[in-house]
Structure 1
Amino acid sequence: MGKTTRRKKTHLFSTERSSVLRVLTYGGAIMAFLIGSGFATGQEIMQYYASYGFWGLFGTGLIVLALISFVSVQFLTVGRRHQFEKPSQIFEYYAGKYVGKFFDYFSILFVFLSFTVMVAGAGAVFDEHYNLPSWVGGFGLTILVAITVLFGLNSLVDVIGKIGPIIVVVAIGLGVVGILNAETGLLAGHNMVGDLDVQQASNHWIVAGLSYVGFCMLWLAAFLTALGKTVPTHREARAGGIVGGVIFSLACIVVGMGLLANIDRVAGMQIPMLVLAGDIAPFVASLISLMILAGIYTTAIPLLWTVSSRFFPDGTQKYKVLTIVLALLGTVVGLWLPFDEMVNIVYVLNGYVGAVLLGIMIVVTIWRASTKRRKAEGEPTKAATSSSSEAR
């Protein structure tokens, strides 16, 4: 009995009573999880969107909008329908026992490495904006995240689901301000980006878009599958996935436009978003730096939780010990390389593996849907044939 109680002690649920508020909270949780250090700082948007000019903004943007919405809906609805004992079973559901195991273990490694990127991002903010050693930001984030994951909140989803949309709205505002205040402008930025030393996620914007969706879905898989178990209705699961995926993707495009319009000034910066904020006023840049840290925090929590809860039930002593060990190890690794290099190495390489899983998901989903339709269409025919035979 004690074990069962512990297994059910999860923070992945919403206490909202209204269906509309629950949908917005689920969508907000998706946004909060995907924001992280890459989006909040602008570094991720630079490498995956702005660095390719208009092709990156609108080509990559549309790829991400369609596919992130698809995978979010799939993970939530499948998690709700099948009520897996372990969220990691989602990989076996799509890829089979053996290939699914590979994606399961690979995703755990990637999620942990993504936590190290959050640490690197916090360190970069403290270094570039506050002129403090990066280890201050790295260890500060680790302590806050570890405490949250160890002792929990009444509802993790409700908390990050509220913070996520706020950060997205502010980021969109910065993107719009960046476009309006730009001395060069979007067209000039598109024309000059090829001549600047801007780090890119891939040699082509299509590959970059698939890689971006790939690493995002490896983040979301276990988290949304676990969350899906608690969603009351199929409609809410679908709506939450669409809301989160669409709004996040549109925010990426708008922020990318703001960065591209100022590409001559943000190229090479660790925290491009602070350049846009500084154009408004120095105190705004300080406020945005806090927003960036909040975005990193909301992503780092479920990342660390995903790894720890994969091995031990949430709240047990072993879970707590593993959380502390992983937090410390992640801090050491995260402070080892510069932030932009961490984003380029960890996200891009793992994104390619995630893109393979994406392809499998699409094929399996289409195949199962067509099989279900054929069975539904075939059953009346069989029944009619049977009745005809009996009549004879």
Structure 2
Amino acid sequence: MTDRTAVQPLGASTRRLSPKRVLTFAGAIIAFLIGSGFATGQEILQYFTSYGYWGIFGSGALVLALMSYVIIEFFVVGQAKKFDKPSHIFHYYCGKHLGSFFDYFSILFVFLSFAVMVAGAGAVFEEHYGLSRFIGGGALAIVVGASVWFGLRSLVDIIGKIGPLIVVIAIALGIMSIVRGSDGISAGNALLPGLDVTQASSNWVLSALSYVGFCMLWLAAFLTALGKTARSRKEAVAGGSLGAIAFSLACIIVGLGLLANITKVAGTEIPMLVLATDISPVLASGISVMILAGIYTTAVPLLWTVSSRFFADNTPRFRYSTVGLAVLGTIIGLLVPFSQMVNVVYVVNGYVGILLLVLMLIKTATRACRARLSPATGRNAKTSRDLL
């Protein structure tokens, strides 16, 4: 009688897919991506809505396709390779020298993105609550620093539960704004060329590529580390796919909601609060809390990513570096206006991320060719982990 386990590829998982773990992974991904830029609406306004229909639907479709690929790729490679340091993901795709460039560049960008989160929290406190932005930015830094202190496993448990809730609320607000829009989607699209709305790039294609590019630099180390906790390739793919689809759908719906109210949100720092206030002041107060929660869920893994690059998670040096980085990021984030930080930090780094995307696609294509040429059976059979 043939032993069935003897013919299974080495490393193949026999564990069943856990819906709870898939949802947790998807929630962590969504929560990471929903930072101050998305939660406030500033990011969606600049990258999607500012280009009208093409920006929302064209960019939305392109972002969905590329983001799905990127998230699943990072997740699966992290699950298979289990790198000692998450930053080794850059060397895997780019080689020794270029990989080192992306490694250090991404750390700088991730740190500056944390500063953007601080600026976003400060803007919410100043614009909605009438309080000093220093109070908002400082409070965020304290809460985020305390969360990162306890390490990655605790982070996934925390942000994985908050992320899906924020997406549901954002989609609901987007739908209400579409229905109640003061301009309407068609009129908003016609009015757009005559309004002063900051754009992320010269056209919607470059905007979408830049958007995926900066998200990649955020996600690389975090998803590689998160992938190590996945029990199987199937679990990693399912969690990554669900996260990418939910986030892209939210971008499209919120983008349409902003377009339907374009004359009201153009030139504002916190467009989502403008939409909520137009519906109900009470709702606006609730949305302000959602925005702060969204900023928190992204700021936490951003700060963790920088600290973990230099010191092992949950060690004294890791914790002390977290405190120092939180202080420095807060100082930077409170010196520059929020909308300017989004436009400069995200866009510039997005173009660098496009190069990483190209190198990833080349690596994936090369890997696929090698897998096709490799014998499928016998002693020389390659496992999925070997081929990665």
Task: Report the equivalent of 2:247.
Answer: 248
Task: Report the equivalent of 1:188.
Answer: 187
Query: Take 1:211 and 1:153, find their aligned partners in 2: how far apart are those partners?
Result: 28
Give per-residue Cα distances to partners, 1:133-155, cap 9 Å, x unaligned: 11110000001111111235863
Task: Report the equivalent of 1:350.
Answer: 349
Moved more, 161-170 or 365-374: 365-374
What aligned pairs does 1:265-276 form with structure 2 within 5 A after superposition? 265-276=264-275
Task: Report the equivalent of 1:109.
Answer: 108
Secondary structure, aligned partner of 2:149 = helix
Partner amino acid, structure 1, of 2:209: L
- Report if the CA contact (8 A) 2:17-2:234 is conserved: no
1:71 and 2:66 matched: no
Give per-residue Cα distances to partners, 1:307-341, cap 9 Å, x unaligned: 00110111222112211111010001001111000
Give the aligned CA root-mean-square deviation in angstroms: 1.6
Query: Take 1:366 and 1:194, find their aligned partners in 2: how far apart are those partners?
Result: 40
Query: Take 1:263 and 1:313, find their aligned partners in 2: how far apart are those partners?
Result: 46
Give per-residue Cα distances to partners, 1:213-256, cap 9 Å, x unaligned: 00001100000000101100110100111000111001000000
What aligned pairs does 1:355-366 form with structure 2 within 5 A after superposition? 355-366=354-365
- Report if the CA contact (8 A) 2:200-2:347 is conserved: yes
Structure 2 vs 1, CA of residues 40 and 280 (structure 1 numbering), >3 Å: closer, same or farther?
same
Task: Report the equivalent of 1:91.
Answer: 90
Task: Report the equivalent of 1:259.
Answer: 258
Query: Take 1:185 and 1:295, find their aligned partners in 2: how far apart are those partners?
Result: 27
The number of aligned residues is 365
Secondary structure, aligned partner of 1:270 = coil
Give per-residue Cα distances to partners, 1:66-125, cap 9 Å, x unaligned: 111111100110001111111101001111111111101100000000000000000000
Query: Take 1:48 and 1:242, find their aligned partners in 2: how far apart are those partners?
Result: 22
Task: Report the equivalent of 2:7.
Answer: none
Partner amino acid, structure 1, of 2:27: G
Task: Report the equivalent of 2:13.
Answer: none
Partner amino acid, structure 1, of 2:207: A
Secondary structure, aligned partner of 1:86 = coil
Partner amino acid, structure 1, of 2:80: R
Query: Take 1:228 and 1:153, find their aligned partners in 2: how far apart are those partners?
Result: 12
Query: Take 1:368 and 1:232, find their aligned partners in 2: how far apart are those partners?
Result: 22
Query: Take 1:154 and 1:62, find their aligned partners in 2: how far apart are those partners?
Result: 32
Task: Report the equivalent of 1:220.
Answer: 219
- Report if the CA contact (8 A) 2:148-2:155 is conserved: no
Moved more, 343-352 or 148-157: 148-157
Secondary structure, aligned partner of 2:198 = coil
Query: Take 1:241 and 1:362, find their aligned partners in 2: how far apart are those partners?
Result: 17
Give per-residue Cα distances to partners, 1:318-368, cap 9 Å, x unaligned: 112211111010001001111000000000000000111001101110111
Task: Report the equivalent of 2:291.
Answer: 292
Partner amino acid, structure 2, of 1:208: S
Task: Report the equivalent of 1:140.
Answer: 139
Partner amino acid, structure 1, of 2:156: V
Task: Report the equivalent of 2:18.
Answer: 19
Query: Take 1:314 and 1:324, find their aligned partners in 2: how far apart are those partners?
Result: 14
Partner amino acid, structure 2, of 1:221: A
1:325 and 2:324 matched: yes
Secondary structure, aligned partner of 2:35 = helix
Query: Take 2:288 and 2:163, find their aligned partners in 1: how far apart are those partners?
Result: 15
Q: CA deviation at 1:375?
A: 2.4
Query: Take 2:112 and 2:262, find their aligned partners in 1: how far apart are those partners?
Result: 29
Partner amino acid, structure 2, of 1:116: A
Moved more, 317-326 or 242-251: 317-326
Query: Take 2:183 and 2:317, find their aligned partners in 1: how far apart are those partners?
Result: 55
Secondary structure, aligned partner of 2:200 = coil
Task: Report the equivalent of 2:238.
Answer: 239
Task: Report the equivalent of 1:388.
Answer: none
Task: Report the equivalent of 1:120.
Answer: 119
Task: Report the equivalent of 2:46.
Answer: 47
Query: Take 1:279 and 1:161, find their aligned partners in 2: how far apart are those partners?
Result: 30
Task: Report the equivalent of 1:279.
Answer: 278
Give per-residue Cα distances to partners, 1:185-213, cap 9 Å, x unaligned: 11111111111000000011000000000
Secondary structure, aligned partner of 1:117 = helix
TM-score by length of 1: 0.91
Uncovered stretches (5+) of structure 2, i.e. residues with no partner? 1-15, 381-388
What aligned pairs does 1:373-384 form with structure 2 within 5 A after superposition? 373-376=372-375
Task: Report the equivalent of 1:14.
Answer: none
Partner amino acid, structure 2, of 1:28: G
Query: Take 2:144 and 2:71, find their aligned partners in 1: how far apart are those partners?
Result: 24
Partner amino acid, structure 2, of 1:136: I
Query: Take 1:154 and 1:223, find their aligned partners in 2: how far apart are those partners?
Result: 12
Task: Report the equivalent of 2:385.
Answer: none
Structure 2 vs 1, CA of residues 154 and 309 (structure 1 numbering), >3 Å: closer, same or farther?
closer
Structure 2 vs 1, CA of residues 179 and 149 (structure 1 numbering), >3 Å: closer, same or farther?
same
4+ runs of 1 displaced by more than 3 Å? Answer: 151-154
Secondary structure, aligned partner of 1:376 = coil
Partner amino acid, structure 2, of 1:147: A
